[in-house]
Amino acid sequence: MIKIAVLGYGTVGSGVVEVIARNQAELSGSAGEEIKVKYILDSREFPGDPNEDKIVHDFNIIVEDEEIRVVCEAMGGTGDAYLYTRRALEAGKSVCTSNKELVARHGAELMSVARERQCNYMFEASVGGGIPIIRTLAVALSTERIEAVTGILNGTTNYILSQMESEHADYHEALARAQRLGYAERNPEADVKGHDACRKIAILASLVSGRRVDSEKVYTEGIDGIKPEDFAFASKLGMTIKLLAVSRMSENGRLFCMVAPFLLPLTHPLASVCDVFNGVLVRGNMLGDTMFYGRGAGKLPTASAVAADVADCVRNQNRTIMRGWDSETAELYDIKNIESRFFVRCAEEDRNRVREVFCGEDKTEGFSLEGEYGFFTPVMKEEVFGQKRDMLGEAVKGSLRLMSE
Amino acid sequence: MIKIAVLGYGTVGSGVVEVIARNQAELSGSAGEEIKVKYILDSREFPGDPNEDKIVHDFNIIVEDEEIRVVCEAMGGTGDAYLYTRRALEAGKSVCTSNKELVARHGAELMSVARERQCNYMFEASVGGGIPIIRTLAVALSTERIEAVTGILNGTTNYILSQMESEHADYHEALARAQRLGYAERNPEADVKGHDACRKIAILASLVSGRRVDSEKVYTEGIDGIKPEDFAFASKLGMTIKLLAVSRMSENGRLFCMVAPFLLPLTHPLASVCDVFNGVLVRGNMLGDTMFYGRGAGKLPTASAVAADVADCVRNQNRTIMRGWDSETAELYDIKNIESRFFVRCAEEDRNRVREVFCGEDKTEGFSLEGEYGFFTPVMKEEVFGQKRDMLGEAVKGSLRLMSE
């Protein structure tokens, strides 16, 4: 029998305890041994809780207990979560986590400690919730040259955009609905500004490239500027709008990452990923496109991913299975050199002037809708587009990049 | 350095050799050692081929060479492929294959030989081509109770159905087009009659249930009876038609498997899997729905899956990683007790009579289209539906099951 500890008895932590209890048979079958939760670390008391007797308040009890082979970190943040993770790994105990912030910031270092101590730092639950995307990139597709990873990695923003599309809600109504349903936090900034998706794509890009991608260096736009007019034009175009997190090898072999809302055709594999679901499209040089789709968040899907990591740690005792990435930060390709086509909206009366600035000699026609005019620009660099947009100021009502492939 | 042998230098075999050469860096990184093809077994000569010097005609050379740690079987069939696989495993050499027929028929036995000799029998490429569905079910989702697996597992039939839908082609035109493009064989029976999908769902069901599912006992219908009228009605319903391979736990804990064309709403995750792509939807008790999508066939995607297996075998020498399944055949839940809603087409003039037989008191309305009338039956058992359909004989022009969830 293998004994484990869970750090934090909040949503994810209690989910882990629940999944381990409910799927005991599957878990033991997969791990090859029975798995039992011995301690739950939390500063609070839980009188009357069926696991009351497992609650401890001192991490030393856990780290000093030789019986504990695996620790599930479900505390969040980069303070105590970091210290406890490091100490557990130094003590040769594997750690499984859903803490994307910690993985994005200290993953390279923690995996290197795990390697030294022949244990594992696992983080399947940190990206894509129940979608086994970490394992897929680290193992199943590890013999592919990954050319691009494009993901809908944040369920909150995907729900808001889906509501704006299907219910013709404006951004604030859709956000309020998401908050009522518990899909968005009271302070939704980390989601709607794209920071959550950004941390997740930084983890996937690190895994694929083998070098640490600093999420703070990833160009990130949120969805709070998306208007009902954007969806009205998208609908006419046979397209939809999604917040995409993109990691791609540029032609010169430099990694390029960004998070932004994109227009994409309804035939695109990610177009049908709606509501709180997540999807990740991976392009390999031999495989072509594969896509993985599932619940990106939620107590049980996230906890299930942690439980799968626990089973993997038990199967692989004294053996490090994650390759990890260098702690040296990857230099990213500058966004100003990235080329895209943009869809631009302006007032009907400004159409000639705005079109002229962006399209020059290109005579591709746009179309009018409810007093506005919208059109696609030719392919141009971000830097050039930005200059033109700045020059036009308020005359540009909105713009979106096109994800064509 | 690890030396391997490839059995069969046809499409898949030459693809494996190509992927190993082109993705050498990724493969070595993943496996932890350089991997080199030492022998290629084929009865033919390949004068002028860059790998001419590796061709051998006698399997004994391979099985007796201690240097060979992994064998890729790309011969197909269950004759020599079976004998050579068994002998390689008995000699402690891991075997990786795309041979679904062999896995479906002798997988349990071959995995048990592998376990005895502490090597591996791996078959990622046997189902879903480039989609890593075997690894996902065997490892990533191994701590889930899998309630259902629903797949579009045959690219040929999916291409034909997509053509019938988008180009309004009839079945024979679409088949001829698939043959011209090399997506369908001259004798297309194994694909269009559903046998290929059936073998694949038998493998997935065996993996999920831990007991051998005999593909010959799986109820299987093909797509050769699908008419343009079916697509005309489907389109009016906001639905599409897909050949689905289904494995599900029935309420009494018995496994139920079938392959048949189904009507499914356009909002269903599998509805957007078009052309030669495959998709597999997995329902876990904690995870909910996850879906995996990609190229189901083709030389390089299939070869890439074999190469990923080779890397896994090298990483796991002297360690069996696949759990496999019992060789005792699972008793399947009898299809006659399965309940479904059916969509039925009949001539306009027969509508009252046909509706009466299937719907009785149920007054749900259908609709007319081009001289025919179509409607949904209430939920009923297969056996009951079959009796009613038989009773009506030629009056029923066509029927399809509805995949509602």
Structure ipTM: 0.92
Q: Is B317 on the interface with A (CB under 8 A)?
A: no
How many Å lie between the alpha carbon of B161 and the closest alpha carbon of chain A? 17
Nearest CA in chain B to A146: B26
Q: Burial letters for B24-56: b for 16+ Cβ neighbours within 10 Å, e otherwise?
A: eebbbebbebebebbbbbbeeeeeeeebeebbb
CB within 8 Å: B284 and A272: no
Instruction: Quickly state the pLDDT bin for B363 (edges 50, 70, 90).
Output: confident
Tokens found for residue A275: 């509501």
Rounded distance between C-alpha atoms, residue A56 and residue A66, angstroms: 16
Rounded distance between C-alpha atoms, residue A160 and residue A175, angstroms: 6
What's the one-letter identity of residue B163? Q
Rounded distance between C-alpha atoms, residue A317 and residue A309, angstroms: 12
CB within 8 Å: B135 and A131: no
Rounded distance between C-alpha atoms, residue B14 and residue B11, angstroms: 6
pLDDT in tens, chain A (405 residues): 999 999 999 999 999 999 999 999 999 999 999 999 999 999 999 999 999 999 999 999 999 999 999 999 999 999 999 999 999 999 999 999 999 999 999 999 999 999 999 999 999 999 998 899 999 998 888 899 999 999 999 999 999 999 999 999 999 999 999 999 999 999 999 999 999 999 999 999 999 999 999 999 999 999 999 999 999 999 999 999 999 999 998 777 789 999 999 999 988 999 989 999 999 999 999 999 999 999 988 899 999 999 999 999 999 999 998 888 988 888 899 999 999 999 999 999 999 999 999 998 877 789 999 999 999 999 999 999 999 999 999 999 999 999 976
**What are the two backbone dihedrals, phi and then psi, of residue A380, each rounded to the nearest 5 degrees?**
-145, 160
What's the one-letter identity of residue A74? A
Tokens found for residue B194: 């559903």
> Which residues of chain B make contact with A132, given a CB cutoff of 8 A?
136, 140-141, 290
How many Å lie between the alpha carbon of B253 and the closest alpha carbon of chain A? 15
| Residue B255 β-bridge partners | B249
Rounded distance between C-alpha atoms, residue A290 and residue B280, angstroms: 11
Window 7-26 of B, Cβ < 8 Å to A: 19, 22-23, 26
A23 CB-contact burial (10 Å; exposed 0-12 / middle 13-18 / buried 19+): buried
Q: State the best of B17, B211, B240, B286 to mutate against chain A, taking most chain A CBs within 10 Å.
A: B286
Rounded distance between C-alpha atoms, residue B103 and residue B88, angstroms: 15
Tokens found for residue A242: 């999604």
**What are the two backbone dihedrals, phi and then psi, of residue A371, each rounded to the nearest 5 degrees?**
80, 0
Rounded distance between C-alpha atoms, residue A172 and residue B35, angstroms: 56
Q: Which residue has the tokens 């909206």?
A: A345
- Give the model's pLDDT for residue B250: 79
Alpha-carbon Rg for chain A, nearest whole angstrom, is 23
Instruction: State the number of CA atoms in the 13 A half-sphere of B285 facing the CB.
Output: 18
CB within 8 Å: B143 and A27: yes
Considering only CB atoms, B290 lies closest to which of A284, A294, A300, namely A294
Q: State the best of B207, B287, B306 to mutate against chain A, taking most chain A CBs within 10 Å.
A: B287
How many Å lie between the alpha carbon of B142 and the closest alpha carbon of chain A? 6
CB within 8 Å: A289 and B272: no
Each residue of B366-387: pLDDT tens digit? 999 999 999 999 999 999 999 9
Contacts of A235 (CB under 8 A, 6+ apart): A165
Q: How far is CA B405 from CA A188, A231, B246, B288, B380, in A?
A: 32, 28, 12, 12, 16
Note the pTM of the prediction, 2 decimals.
0.94
Q: Are A386 and A339 in contact (CB under 8 A)?
A: no
CB within 8 Å: A293 and B141: no
Q: Is the pLDDT of residue B404 over 80?
A: no
Long-range contacts of A41-45 (CB under 8 A, 24+ apart): A41/A5, A41/A6, A41/A7, A41/A8, A41/A9, A41/A75, A41/A84, A42/A8, A42/A9, A42/A10, A42/A13, A44/A9
- Comparing CA positions, the residue from B387, B295, B289 lying closest to residue B342 is B387
Which of the following is catalytic: B93, B100, B200, B388?
Answer: B200
Rounded distance between C-alpha atoms, residue A259 and residue B166, angstroms: 34
- Give the model's pLDDT for residue A114: 97
Tokens found for residue A91: 């003590």
A64 CB-contact burial (10 Å; exposed 0-12 / middle 13-18 / buried 19+): exposed
The whole-number average pLDDT for the span B212-223 is 96
Please name the residue ranges forming H helices in A223-279: 228-236
Considering only CB atoms, A130 lies closest to which of B142, B269, B288, namely B288
Each residue of B59-82: pLDDT tens digit? 999 999 999 999 999 999 999 999
Please name the residue ranges forming H helices in A239-374: 299-315, 351-359
How many Å lie between the alpha carbon of A115 and the closest alpha carbon of chain B? 14
Q: Which residue has the tokens 């397209």?
A: A239
Tokens found for residue A346: 């302006």
| Residue B205 β-bridge partners | none
| Residue A245 β-bridge partners | A151, A259
**Beta-carbon count within 10 A of A164 CB:** 23
CB within 8 Å: B294 and A287: yes
- DSSP class per residue in A124-135: GGGSSTTS-HHH
Window 99-138 of B, Cβ < 8 Å to A: 124, 130-132, 135-136
Q: How many H helices and E strands in chain B? A: 14, 20
CB within 8 Å: B286 and A272: no
Tokens found for residue A305: 């991913």
CB within 8 Å: A289 and B300: no
Rounded distance between C-alpha atoms, residue B121 and residue B309, angstroms: 9
| Residue A240 β-bridge partners | A264
Nearest CA in chain A to B21: A143
Q: Is B141 on the interface with A (CB under 8 A)?
A: yes
Q: Are B206 and B182 in contact (CB under 8 A)?
A: no
Q: Are A210 and A325 in contact (CB under 8 A)?
A: yes
What's the one-letter identity of residue A104? A
Q: How many H helices and E strands in chain A? A: 14, 20
**Beta-carbon count within 10 A of B355 CB:** 20
Angle at A79 between CA A76 and CA A80, to 5 degrees: 80
Q: How far is CA B107 from CA B201, B213, B310, B362, in A?
A: 14, 11, 18, 47
